[in-house]
Amino acid sequence: MVSTAYSMGLFGMDAFKVVVESDLSQGLPAFELVGLPDAAVKESKDRVRSALKNCGFDFPISRITMNLAPADKRKEGPIYDLPLAIALLKASKQLSADTGTSVFIGELSLSGEVRAVRGVLPMVIEAQKEGFENIFIPASNALEGAVVKGINVFAVNNIPELVKHLLKEETLYPVVVNSQTKKDNEYLLDFADVKGQAEAKRALEIAASGGHNILLIGPPGSGKSMLAKRLPSILPNMSFEESIETTKIYSIAGSLPGDTSLIKARPFRAPHHTVSPAGLSGGGTVPKPGEISLAHNGVLFLDEFPEFSRKAMEVLRQPIEDGIVTISRVNSSAKYPCNVMLVAAMNPCPCGFFGHSTKPCKCSGVTVDRYLGKVSGPMLDRIDLHIEVPPVEFDELSNQEKSESSAEIKKRVDAARNIQSERFKGTNILSNAMIPSADLHRLCKTSEEAEKLFKRAFEKFGLSARAYDRVLKVARTIADLDSSEIIETRHAAEAVQYRGLDRKYWLHEL
């Protein structure tokens, strides 16, 4: 007799339906599992056998063949333990229930407990799209799965509990998520604690308003990391669609906290400079998201920027430009979104005092060149704002007055983002940093004087076409902060000044 149960599979960001088929036939006792399973799936038969026996069910003494269809898609992970057990109970007539509208996902312990698995949210979303009415998932994953509307999400603790529900002996109730969660952007770090650094705070406000990448250069202890860590506190709140997409990535990576149903605060990822290229971009036999995708819709902070390996640094170039990471394998490729704000911080030299006004630099010219040369020209081109973070003076440090708070700065950022939302309504563009080159001059209208200033800057600094486009986008953001429809000279001048540091340090124009 052949019986079926339904489950889901996952590759990259995409989930797909899996039909679990079970057949019991005469012959020597055996348990065959087919359908392109990986090692973790092959081990399911041992977990299922022990779980069923320890829960008081009979394990069929016959030739058992179980198939995971479609057979041409690789199945990985322990998520098929639960549907395999259900299909086997149905085939052995220990369970006579209609499961045609239900999906089962979960790993089994040897005692029959249902354990948490990765990627529940995208699988629940796909199950809802496929038209299933019910989905049974581990209790530990209940909160993340229950955010999806249009499908009944049941939290399962163990096999007997599930079987009793299917036989209508006991009733499980769909999980309901309490929408009253902690406030968005509830950060302890506030710009009010930052002494001085008015120019750097202004640059970060512009970056947050337009979604621009930014590079902070300055000596040790000047506050670069302190400023970067406060950037999320002024970013606009995430929309529901952004929250869903970010939560999907964390669910797939297995990084979603058990008490979290939906990520509402923008991510802030700060990988150590020893991270590998695959750690940044993602990878593995079955591709998993890396740090740049985990920072999707948020901030990717790279401290000590030149200390990252050249391969790791260069792997960022294309994703930063396109907003997508593509991980290719022999049979297929996985794509993960990575719409991030890149914030990089660095010292101007190994000792940190190259160009310092009072402390002499101890590095030789060759050492400085080698250190700065670790950051390539193409990488610099992709960073919109370059800002110097000078040492803080004693008078500023000893000043007891609080600086402007993050809440006040965020009001201006939100106002600028609202202008952009109206401008890009009906498109996939979310901020000025994402404006495609084809639409740049239509959306970034400049005054005649501002156009002349851009021309002089282009010729004087020898800007590339990409760098010019980014300067124009930054000017558009500055104009939005000023509630101006036209980019005026003052907006253009401020945008241009954020492209001068590569000339000062990389060309040594001191």
Q: What letter represents residue 324's amino acid?
A: I
Instruction: State how far the Cα of 359 lies from the Cα of 398, in Å rounded to an integer.
Output: 21
Considering only residues 448 and 259, tell me which one the structure prediction assigns the higher pLDDT. Answer: 448
**Whole-number pLDDT of residue 506:** 66
pTM of the entire structure?
Answer: 0.89
Q: What residues have CB less than 8 Å from 227, skipping those under 6 apart?
A: 194, 197, 200, 201, 204, 216, 389
CA 488 to chain CA mean position, Å: 36
Considering only residues 186 and 352, tell me which one the structure prediction assigns the higher pLDDT. Answer: 352
Query: With bands split at pLDDT 50, 70 and 90, how would you rate the model's confidence at 346?
Result: very high
Statement: residue 188 has pLDDT above 80: no
Instruction: State how far the Cα of 169 lies from the Cα of 132, in Å rounded to an integer.
Output: 22
Query: With bands split at pLDDT 50, 70 and 90, how would you rate the model's confidence at 504?
Result: low
SS3 74: coil
Please write the tens of the pLDDT for every residue from 285-304. 778 899 999 999 999 999 99
**Whole-number pLDDT of residue 470:** 92
% of the chain exceeding 90 in pLDDT: 66
Considering only residues 462 and 423, tell me which one the structure prediction assigns the higher pLDDT. Answer: 423
Statement: residue 134 has pLDDT above 80: yes
Query: With bands split at pLDDT 50, 70 and 90, how would you rate the model's confidence at 12?
Result: confident
Instruction: State how far the Cα of 296 lies from the Cα of 359, in Å rounded to an integer.
Output: 39
Query: With bands split at pLDDT 50, 70 and 90, how would you rate the model's confidence at 162?
Result: very high
Residue 378: how many other CB atoms lie within 10 Å: 12
Residue range 159-183: average pLDDT? 84
Statement: residue 394 has pLDDT above 60: yes
Residue range 156-181: average pLDDT? 88
Residue range 380-398: average pLDDT? 85
Q: What residues have CB less than 8 Å from 66, skipping those under 6 apart?
A: 20, 21, 22, 23, 31, 32, 33, 34, 35, 45, 84, 87, 88
Query: With bands split at pLDDT 50, 70 and 90, how would you rate the model's confidence at 179?
Result: low
Write the DSSP assignment of 42-99 as a string of letters: HTHHHHHHHHHHHTTPPPP-SEEEEEEESTTS-B-SSTTHHHHHHHHHHHTTS-----
Q: What are the CA-CA distances from residue 172 to residues 136, 152, 200 (Å)?
A: 10, 11, 55
C-alpha neighbours within 13 Å on the C-beta side of residue 18: 33
Q: What residues have CB less than 8 Å from 306, skipping those under 6 apart?
A: 346, 371, 372, 374, 375
- The answer to whether the CB of 474 falls within 8 A of the CB of 385 is yes
Per DSSP bridges, beta strands 341-346 and 299-302 are parallel
Mean pLDDT of the chain: 90
Which residue(s) pair with 18 in the sheet?
Answer: 7
**Whole-number pLDDT of residue 300:** 96
Which domains, and CATH codes, for the chain?
2-166 (3.30.230.10), 191-506 (3.40.50.300)
Statement: residue 181 has pLDDT above 50: no
Instruction: State how far the Cα of 115 lies from the Cα of 109, in Å rounded to an integer.
Output: 7
Write the DSSP assignment of 152-165 as a string of letters: EEEEE-BHHHHHHH
Query: With bands split at pLDDT 50, 70 and 90, how would you rate the model's confidence at 509?
Result: very low
**Whole-number pLDDT of residue 380:** 87
Residue range 222-238: average pLDDT? 93
Query: With bands split at pLDDT 50, 70 and 90, how would you rate the model's confidence at 503?
Result: low
**What is residue 234's DSSP assignment?**
G
Chain position carrying tokens 């990389």: 506
Which residue(s) pair with 103 in the sheet?
Answer: 6, 135
% of the chain exceeding 70 in pLDDT: 95
Statement: residue 351 has pLDDT above 80: yes
Query: With bands split at pLDDT 50, 70 and 90, how would you rate the model's confidence at 473?
Result: very high
**Whole-number pLDDT of residue 466:** 87
Residue 488: how many other CB atoms lie within 10 Å: 18
Residue range 253-280: average pLDDT? 90
Among 271, 256, 352, 335, residue whose Cα is nearest residue 309: 271
Statement: residue 184 has pLDDT above 60: no
**What is residue 266's DSSP assignment?**
P
